[in-house]
């Protein structure tokens, strides 16, 4: 008997809570501010935000204003910080919901101050320093000037100083030390000038797990909370995967040798073959590249079965000839465990020639996220 979903993603909230405990242990006295941007890296932001709230998390990071407002509309009351930039039309909504924003230039500071005055509200801001990412943020030479501009705007409240590290390998890359030194120099300059800085934060998953020091007042882990670390980083064994991607078999087809399968006939059977059709394609997070011969697998009845033929928008085909007893309605696992076999996010990413972040973030909106173990909230912790 199949499930009520054609394809679905299981989100293990117990694993998420475990990963949160592990990052808190690594962070020591620093607070952990989970990053739930991009729909919590494709995992579903609302249930994970609720898990964070029950755990006593003091701030949550998001990518843009829409994500922050979605959490507010879902009843999340934890302070929210938009780590990216905002546009003018979004600011009144952020002010109304008490959402903090990152600032990246003096001109943006002045505009935010004017909008806050018009709205009659105060806006919490975090000054972002570009220490080497060369994306958003104030260059160190301009940091003091922009910080003073924030203090000159009575409707703005400086709540933090932040940066973002560029190296996927964290502190294993010497450039991280260059960035950390530049950030500390800005911090010293601002404090010597009398600028009050309530919170200093910069560490992401990679730098946290590779021993960045000092960590400051808070860290902002993202991918580690979902049980994934960039390949080769220490500490992956401490984490538990949060997401599994599954689909039910909707059709079985027996084909003779010499039959081409899928768009473009990219794969041809060399023997009589039994195919299982799964209602999951590249719109649902299954990378098109997995359709190349030998790259992608699905687990059925505890067996690794190769994906054959081109992956289409809505479907893929799997060779289940050697998996005895597969029937319509059986569950196929594209990410996750089945019996003694596992397909990890990292394995899928490597097979597709990309990074784990892209795999989880690309799982489409028509794939329901099914939360597991929601009934056991983590007791509130000190940070």
Q: Where in the sequence numbering do the catalytic residues fall?
A: 37, 263
C-alpha 221/C-alpha 206 separation (Å) is: 8
Query: Phi and psi at residue 255, in whole multiples of 5°?
Result: -125, 150
C-alpha 34/C-alpha 67 separation (Å) is: 14
C-alpha 302/C-alpha 342 separation (Å) is: 9
Placement of tokens 């394609």 in the chain: 281
- DSSP 3-state assignment of 44? coil
Q: What is the CA radius of gyration of the chain?
A: 24
Closest to 369 (Cα-Cα) out of 70, 36, 5? 5
Whether 35 and 222 have beta carbons less than 8 Å apart is answered as yes
- DSSP 3-state assignment of 60? strand
C-alpha 249/C-alpha 293 separation (Å) is: 21
Q: What share of the chain is helix, strand, coil (3-state, %, to 5)?
A: 35, 25, 40
DSSP class of 89:
G
């Amino acid at each position: 008997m199949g499930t009520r979903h054609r394809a679905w993603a299981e989100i293990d909230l117990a694993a998420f809570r475990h990963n949160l405990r592990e990052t808190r242990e690594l962070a020591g006295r620093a607070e952990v501010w989970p990053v739930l941007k991009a729909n919590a890296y494709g995992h579903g932001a609302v249930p994970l935000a609720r898990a964070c709230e029950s755990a006593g998390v003091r701030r949550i990071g998001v990518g843009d204003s829409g994500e922050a407002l979605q959490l507010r509309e879902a009843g999340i009351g934890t302070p929210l910080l938009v780590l990216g930039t905002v546009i003018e039309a979004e600011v009144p909504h952020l002010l109304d919901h008490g959402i903090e924003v990152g600032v990246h230039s003096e001109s943006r500071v002045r505009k935010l101050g004017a909008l806050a005055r018009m709205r009659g509200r105060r806006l919490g801001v975090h000054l972002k320093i570009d220490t080497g990412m060369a994306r958003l943020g104030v260059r160190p030479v301009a940091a003091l000037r922009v910080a003073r501009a924030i203090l000159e705007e009575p409707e703005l409240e400086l709540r933090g100083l932040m940066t973002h590290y560029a190296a996927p390998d964290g502190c294993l890359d010497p450039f991280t030390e260059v960035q950390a030194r530049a950030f500390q120099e800005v911090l010293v300059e601002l404090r010597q000038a009398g600028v009050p800085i309530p919170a200093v934060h910069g560490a992401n998953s990679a730098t946290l797990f590779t021993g960045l020091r000092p960590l400051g007042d808070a860290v902002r882990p993202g991918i580690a909370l979902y049980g994934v670390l960039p390949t080769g980083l220490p500490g992956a064994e401490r984490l538990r995967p949060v997401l599994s991607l599954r689909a039910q078999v909707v059709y079985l087809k027996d084909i003779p040798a010499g039959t081409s399968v899928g768009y473009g006939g990219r794969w041809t059977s060399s023997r009589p073959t039994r195919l299982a059709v799964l209602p999951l394609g590249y719109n649902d997070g299954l990378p098109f590249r997995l359709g190349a011969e030998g790259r992608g697998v699905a687990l059925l009845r505890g067996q690794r079965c190769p994906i054959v033929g081109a992956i289409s928008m809505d479907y893929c085909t799997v060779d289940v000839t050697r998996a005895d007893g597969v029937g319509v309605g059986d569950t196929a696992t594209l990410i996750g465990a089945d019996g003694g076999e596992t397909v990890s996010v990292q394995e899928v990413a490597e097979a597709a020639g990309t990074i784990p972040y892209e795999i989880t973030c690309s799982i489409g909106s028509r794939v329901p996220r099914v939360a597991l173990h929601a009934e056991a909230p983590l007791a509130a912790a000190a940070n």
